[in-house]
Structure 1
């Protein structure tokens, strides 16, 4: 029987690490060195897919024997990419721009096993409808949760759920940052089955 290859999550996101832990697979974490700057005119979905693959390939280049997961998420506001705010002022501006609107969070996952010549990726869109938030609600939320490392300035797994009226998705974990249904599918294709002994 061929030994299962080692698994690496190419990400610095604690949210993705916590999600992958749900699959109960041994894995290590490595930071990918990838420029995440959008290209001119690049659509949010294309940006998320490109960056997920770039992250997986960046780590796989250092560990060709391992199966590497890369992932990225870009919030899509009427075709414009909305990234991580990084600070309070930008988070306020993001939430003001999204109040009362539907936003699509484009979450991409890529799995690369360089030694086996395997590469696959998937895009999992999640449509989120924001309430018509008041400035006071935005301030209260941001002070309470400080979601400055989250695309779109909201954590649906925390207090951020109160900002929303609806979430539409085939994979509820995609909104948090790693679509586990698709990730499981891609890992099985790469020879790692979370349900195999």
Structure 2
């Protein structure tokens, strides 16, 4: 029996780099799903649903594959924070987050398109932001331009300087792809990993 192809259902360069760390051959493909949160959905539910949809949306193109979907939603005072997209929204996000704790919910789905089985997990991370100044926000945004990251602070880059402390179980989850959980899921599908 041959090993199914591994497909990353994402165009994110961060997720691509993270998955590359495992040294497994994979292809990346753009998933096809609407990423709008649904009314009444919690942050964890939104992240989980979107990770699942991203993986399943590619099953028709890859009928004998393991397809990875992942999504991250940040939560501050019950409000979901998405990717800011531009300087103004990133400035507002970081201003609201100053001195506060944000919970990042990173969801992972692994869909076996041959069997129809989907494994799912949500990995939360608590991030306490520093009480940084308005000038520090401006300097950070102009240097790193983190407009494609939920919460506007890249922990794998200069954004770590905006953070006071972090707590979670899977260090790759905060960047966008929980690798520890993914390894568990791949093993459950019969893959041999160190």
**TM category, shorter:** over 0.9
Q: Provide the residue aligned with 1:131 in structure 2.
A: 130
Q: Provide the residue aligned with 2:177 in structure 1.
A: 178
User: Offset of 1:170 from its aligned partner?
Assistant: 0.5
The answer on 1:160 being equivalent to 2:162 is no
Q: Provide the residue aligned with 1:57 in structure 2.
A: 56
* SS of alignment partner, residue 184 of structure 1: helix
Q: Provide the residue aligned with 1:17 in structure 2.
A: 16
Q: Provide the residue aligned with 2:141 in structure 1.
A: 142
User: Offset of 1:106 from its aligned partner?
Assistant: 0.3
User: Offset of 1:61 from its aligned partner?
Assistant: 2.5
CA contact (8 A) 1:109 1:183 kept: yes
CA contact (8 A) 1:184 1:193 kept: no
CA offsets 1:123-175 (integer angstroms, 9 cap, x no match): 00000000112110000000010000000000001110010110101001100
Q: Separation in 2 of the partners of 1:192 and 1:130?
A: 38
User: Offset of 1:105 from its aligned partner?
Assistant: 0.5
User: Offset of 1:62 from its aligned partner?
Assistant: 1.8
Q: Separation in 2 of the partners of 1:105 and 1:138?
A: 20
User: Offset of 1:193 from its aligned partner?
Assistant: 2.8
Q: Separation in 2 of the partners of 1:144 and 1:80?
A: 27
* SS of alignment partner, residue 124 of structure 1: strand
CA contact (8 A) 1:43 1:80 kept: no
Number of residue-to-residue matches in the alignment? 194
Q: Separation in 2 of the partners of 1:104 and 1:193?
A: 33
User: Offset of 1:192 from its aligned partner?
Assistant: 2.4
Q: Provide the residue aligned with 2:193 in structure 1.
A: 194
Unmatched segments (≥5 aa) in structure 2: none
Map residues 22-171 of structure 1 onto 2, 5 A cutoff. Answer: 22-171=21-170
* SS of alignment partner, residue 167 of structure 1: strand
- After superposing on structure 2, the runs of 4+ consecutive aligned residues of structure 1 that deviate more than 2 Å are 191-195
Once superposed, what is the RMSD of the aligned Cα atoms? 0.8
User: Offset of 1:104 from its aligned partner?
Assistant: 0.4
CA contact (8 A) 1:25 1:194 kept: no
